[in-house]
């Protein structure tokens, strides 16, 4: 038995584990929503009227329907019953239905005889008196005129005595000072003439409106304030100033 040997051929593969990176694309899509809004108005010329609100013996209800409406001024209202105080507020509505927000009242009082009773202006507030040098006094007072609307005063009346007695309206003659109105308050700052030293000065203040006629319509009296005059008065400020590397004021 013979033995043969030969060469055989075959193949094998060597596999290597390889890692790599792949490239690709993706998109991020954003879904976007939005809103656009704008406005216009719609007119009705018939809406453009004055609206008159009326309260009888009280302020009117501005949330209720107006008492009267009218397109032009001046306007005559219907007749008013006697013996009532009428509070009127006038507003204006435009053609878009927007109404003004006026709240200022005009007060009219009708007496039992059907006559219009003049409405007095308000009493002056913050009335003070202070001695000034030279036996004078300075009187101060405030009058917040806006609150009186169409019934505003235009003058201060200063009733003054220097004998220690209270001033009396109708007896003493007042000094009349025309008001200067600014920022809702008319301020009185009045310096008297000189009195005897150590005199007791008493003052009360009234406000005055001058109606057609002319007719003076005065407020009630303020409380009475008083001061004692002094020949020297309060010391006047005195100062010295030294000027060097710095200024010193004393």
Partner 1 sequence: MHLAATVTNAIANVTVDFVSGENGAGAGSLAATDVNDLAWTPPGGTQGAAVTIANGETKVLEGGGATGSFVRVTRTSTDDLAGEATVTLAKLFNNALGFDNISSAEAAAGDTEYRCICAKNESAADVTVLKAWIGTLGTQLVSGAAQLGASGAGTIGVAAGTFADWPASGFCRIEEAAGTLREIVYYSSRTAIVLTVPATGRALLGTTAAAGLATDKIYPVPGIRIGKEAPASQPDGAFTDKTVAGEGSEPAGVAWSSGITAATGLDIGTLAAGYIYGLWLERTAPEYHVAIAAATHDIRWGFDSA
Q: Which residues bind partner 1 (CB under 8 A)?
A: 27-47, 95-98
Instruction: Please identify, using beta-carbon distances, which residue of 31 and 245 lies nearer to partner 1.
Output: 31
The number of C-alpha atoms within 13 Å of 179 and in the hemisphere containing its C-beta is 25
Which two structure tokens, joined as six digits, stand for 90?
């006038």
State in angstroms the smallest separation of the CB of 100 from partner 1: 13
Shortest approach of partner 1 to residue 27 CB, angstroms?
A: 5
Q: Which helix (H) or strand (E) holds 208?
A: strand 200-211
With H, G, I as helix, E, B as strand and everything else as coil, classify residue 139.
strand
Closest distance between partner 1 and the C-beta of residue 65, in Å? Answer: 16
**By the 8 A CB rule, do 130 and 137 touch?**
yes
Contact (Cβ atoms closer than 8 angstroms) between residue 139 and residue 129: yes
By C-beta, is 5 or 33 nearer to partner 1? 33
Q: Look up residue 162 and give its two tokens.
A: 């220097």
Least distance CB 29 / partner 1 (angstroms): 5
CB closer to partner 1, 47 vs 62: 47
User: For partner 1, which is the closer residue by CB, 11 or 40?
Assistant: 40
Go through 213-230 and write b for each residue having 16 or more CB atoms within 10 A of its CB, e for each that does not. Answer: eeeebbbebbeebebebb
Which of 47, 185 has the CB closer to partner 1? 47
User: For residues 14 and 46, which CB has a smaller minimum distance to partner 1 in the complex?
Assistant: 46
Between the alpha carbon of residue 215 and those of residues 67, 110, 154, the distances in Å are 30, 17, 13
- Take residue 145 and report the two structure tokens written for it: 């005129």
Sheet of strand 185-191: strand arrangement: 125-132, 136-143, 185-191, 181-182
Which CB sits closer to partner 1, 50 or 190?
A: 50
> Helix, strand or coil for residue 49?
coil
Q: How far is the CB of 64 from partner 1 (least distance, A)?
A: 19
- Smallest gap, in angstroms, from Cβ of residue 12 to partner 1? 51
Smallest gap from residue 63 Cβ to partner 1 (A): 16
Q: Which residue has the tokens 């004078």?
A: 136
């Amino acid at each position: 038995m013979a033995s043969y040997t030969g060469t055989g051929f075959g193949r094998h593969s060597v596999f290597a584990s390889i890692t790599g990176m792949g490239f690709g694309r993706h998109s991020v899509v954003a879904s976007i929503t939005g809103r656009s809004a704008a406005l216009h108005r719609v007119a009705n010329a018939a809406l453009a009227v004055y609206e008159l609100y009326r309260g009888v013996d009280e302020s009117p209800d501005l949330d209720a329907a107006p008492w009267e409406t009218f397109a032009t001024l001046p306007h005559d209202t219907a007749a008013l019953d006697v013996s009532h105080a009428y509070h009127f507020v006038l507003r204006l509505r435009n053609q878009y239905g927007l109404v003004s927000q006026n709240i200022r009242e005009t007060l009219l009082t009708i007496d039992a005889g059907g006559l219009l009773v003049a409405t007095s202006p308000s009493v002056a507030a913050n009335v003070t008196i202070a001695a000034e040098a030279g036996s004078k006094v300075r009187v101060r007072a405030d009058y917040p005129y806006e609150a009186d609307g169409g019934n505003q005063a235009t003058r201060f009346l200063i009733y003054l005595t220097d004998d220690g007695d209270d001033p009396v309206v109708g007896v003493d003659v007042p000094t009349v000072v025309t008001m200067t109105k600014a920022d809702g308050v008319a301020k009185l700052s009045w310096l008297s003439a000189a009195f005897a030293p150590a005199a007791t000065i008493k003052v009360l203040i009234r406000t005055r409106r001058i109606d057609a006629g002319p007719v003076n319509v005065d407020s009630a009296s303020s409380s009475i304030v008083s001061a004692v005059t002094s020949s020297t008065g309060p010391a006047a400020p005195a100062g010295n100033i030294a000027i060097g590397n710095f200024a010193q004021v004393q």
